[in-house]
Amino acid sequence: MDAPGDPEGPRPPGGDGSPGSVREIPRRLSREQIFVLISAASINFSSMMCYSILGPFFPTEAEKKGVSNTVTGMIFGCYALFDLLASLVFGKYLVHIGAKFMFVAGLLVSGGVTILFGVLDQVPEGPVFIAMCFLVRITDAVSFSAAITASSSILAKAFPNNVATVLGCLEIFSGLGLVLGPPLGGFLYQSFGYEVPFIFLGCIVLLMVPLNMCILPNYESDPGKHSFWKLITLPKVALISFVITSLSSCFGFLDPTLSLFVLEKFNLPAGYVGLVFLGLALSYAISSPLVGLLSDKVPRLRKWLLVFGSLITAGCYMLLGPAPVLHIKSQLWLLVLILVINGISVGMSSIPTFLEVLSCAYENGFEEGLSTMGLVSGLFGAVWSVGDFIGPTLGGFLYEKLGFEWAATLQGLWALTSGLVLGLFYLLEHSRRRRRSKLQNILSIEEERTALLPGEM
């Protein structure tokens, strides 16, 4: 096994540790790797469709049931809160439960509860409707958390030398889910009513269950001795987690607010509101594979992709409204352009994080294997979910009290803070390493002089 401090990321078990072996990637994928890619693509696509389908029409439907914007934001946000809790549990016990079983069971439960969400319009308005929305949304969060946590760990196991590239390429399917979810949901809602979007999507998810039971390989590993607490208390991991949280908060903020803002500001019909989300999802899907490839080929750039991605995201949210202090008139073309740029910036910040955290874990003594990959995958899901809870919940409240323009600006300030703090940490780390390197050079020169003195005398 190679040294845990390998800056290039995880190496395959049994490798000889030479640079050539680390960089050597098979020209053709094995059958097992192809099946893993198909399984991961299916969960990325279906999870993002289930997550994004609510955006264009659920806030309006909830208003008909007497639900306030704040409570609607909490319904969106509770998904992330329970995704957080479930990610920590599933990441810790991935090896005990079994990655394949966790993946397939998560898909099965999620398909069922997605269909159940489609019959909620038959529930009486008021507290009963709100309670049922929370119950179904929470169950969906837990089930998809199981599948996504297992998927990320299996991918890292199957592709140890090019994790970021593979994760980036699979974000195409996440982007497709985000792209197709809102317009498809808006179209089906407008054409057939509330029930059809959920029944249609739930059936698609259920059809993926037997497929993945047949093709997904079963990886086994021994339980690890390290915990989430040890991982999250590493300074670099903690700061990267802060960045991930700020990004997911910005993403989640748009769910309960953007559709209402567009309807109110530009008077678009519900079917067209979903198209506004298209620029964000499409640019994210296209840029993610390129960012992943760059992260694997030039590892030293990963940290700066993280930093500059956060700073660009901050600028996007300040221009999304735009911020009242900028005195720029809100226009539909400007909104779509900013969403396109935001999709690229989120890809810059989110794709390199998994490998950055995994490399940091190995540098600090975590054992290489499925157990550590499960911890990192669970941690990523957990901290993403923290922001995904805060974004819609706080976003719905701020939208109600301050309006979309100021609410988006405050989200941008959070991304700005996290990007600047992480950038400062990386600069200090670089400075410490340079000083340490200079000190080591001086000491080695002094040792050489000391060794030469007896010979000269």
Average pLDDT over residues 254-267: 80
Provide the sign of the torsion angle of the four alpha carbons 71, 77, 81, 86, taken in this order.
positive
Whether the pLDDT of residue 227 is over 80: the answer is no
| pLDDT surpasses 70 at 23 | no
pLDDT tens digit sequence for 79-107: 777 887 888 888 878 777 888 888 889 88
In a domain, 457, yes or no: no
Average pLDDT score, the chain: 78
Query: Which of 221, 246, 271 is the last residue in one of the domains?
Result: 221
Is residue 252 within 8 A of residue 394, CB to CB? The reply is no
> Would the pLDDT of 207 be above 80?
yes
Say what the pLDDT of residue 11 is: 37
The three state secondary structure string of the chain is: CCCCCCCCCCCCCCCCCCHHHHHCCCCCCCHHHHHHHHHHHHHHHHHHHHHHCCCCCHHHHHHHCCCCHHHHHHHHHHHHHHHHHHHHHHHHCHHHHCHHHHHHHHHHHHHHHHHHHCCHHHCCCCHHHHHHHHHHHHHHHHHHHHHHHHHHHHHHHHCCCCHHHHHHHHHHHHHHHHHHHHHHHHHHHHHHCCHHHHHHHHHHHHHHHHHHHHHCCCCCCCCCCCCHHHHHCCHHHHHHHHHHHHHHHHHHHHHHHHHHHHHHHHCCCHHHHHHHCHHHHHHHHHHHHHHHHHHHHCHHHHHHHHHHHHHHHHHHHHHHCCCHHHCCCCCHHHHHHHHHHHHHHHHHHHCCHHHHHHHHHHHCCCCCCHHHHHHHHHHHHHHHHHHHHHHHHHHHHHHHHHCHHHHHHHHHHHHHHHHHHHHHHHHHHHHHHHHHHHHHHHHHHHHHHHHHHHHHC
pLDDT band at 55 (very low <50, low <70, confident <90, very high): low
Structure tokens belonging to residue 207: 């059809």
246 with 139, same domain: the answer is: no
Work out the average pLDDT over 25-32.
Answer: 67
The reply to whether 336 and 287 lie within a common domain is yes
Same domain, 230 and 216: no
pTM score, whole prediction:
0.70
Question: What are the tens digits of pLDDT across the range 279-290?
Answer: 787 888 788 888
Does one domain contain both 236 and 166?
Answer: no
Tokens read off for 295: 């992260």
For the segment 328-340, the average pLDDT, to the nearest whole number, is 85
Alpha-carbon span 345 to 235, nearest angstrom: 24
Closest to 302 in 3D by CA, of 261, 243, 214, 364: 243
What CATH number has the domain bearing residue 192? 1.20.1250.20
Count Cα neighbours of 30 within 13 Å in the Cβ-side half-sphere: 9
Per cent of the chain over pLDDT 70 is 87
End-of-domain residue from the set 162, 187, 221:
221
Count of the separate structural domains present in the chain: 2
Query: In the predicted model, what is the mean pLDDT of residues 248-274?
Result: 77
Average pLDDT over residues 102-119: 88
In a domain, 83, yes or no: yes
R_g (Cα) of the chain, nearest Å: 23
Longest pairwise C-alpha distance within the chain: 99
Choose among 261, 209, 198, 266: nearest CA to 49: 198
| Backbone dihedral region for residue 208 (phi beyond 0: left; psi -120 to 50: alpha; all else: beta) | alpha
Same domain, 418 and 428: yes
Rounded distance between C-alpha atoms, residue 345 and residue 367, angstroms: 32
Residue 4, in any domain of the structure: no
pLDDT of res. 452: 60
pLDDT above 60 (res 184):
yes
Residues 41 and 117 reside in one and the same domain: yes
Neighbouring CB atoms inside 10 A of 426's CB total 15
> Is 11 inside a domain boundary?
no
Neighbouring CB atoms inside 10 A of 282's CB total 17
Mean pLDDT along residues 296-302: 81
Digit-coded pLDDT (tens) for 370-397: 677 778 877 887 888 788 778 877 887 8
Range of the domain at 34: 30-221
pLDDT at 270: 63
How confident is the model at residue 383, as a pLDDT?
A: 85
More confident site: 15 or 63: 63
Task: Output the pLDDT for position 27.
Answer: 55
pLDDT above 50 for 253: yes
Instruction: Tell me which residue has tokens 């050597």.
Output: 24
Same-domain pairing of 61 and 123: yes
Same domain, 284 and 312: yes
Together in a domain, 368 and 254: yes
Same domain, 110 and 210: yes
> Residue 399's closest CA among 251, 198, 259?
259
Lowest mean pLDDT across 38-47, 309-318, 407-416, 442-451: 442-451
Using the 3D structure, point to which of 156, 187, 221 is the last residue of a domain. 221
349 and 359 both lie in a single domain: yes
* pLDDT for residue 226 is more than 70: no
More confident residue, 94 or 345: 345
Q: What pLDDT shows up at residue 424?
A: 92
Q: Is the pLDDT of residue 455 over 70?
A: no
Tokens for 306, please give them. 């993280």
Residue 22 confidence class, pLDDT cut points 50, 70, 90: very low
Other beta carbons less than 10 A from residue 38's beta carbon: 14
pLDDT beyond 60 at 18: no
> Angle at the Cα of 82 (from 81 to 83), degrees rounded to 5?
90
The residues, any chain, with a CB within 8 Å of residue 280's CB and separated by 6 or more, are 178, 254, 339, 340, 342, 343
Residues 48/140, Cβ–Cβ less than 8 Å: no
Residue 162 has pLDDT above 50, yes or no: yes
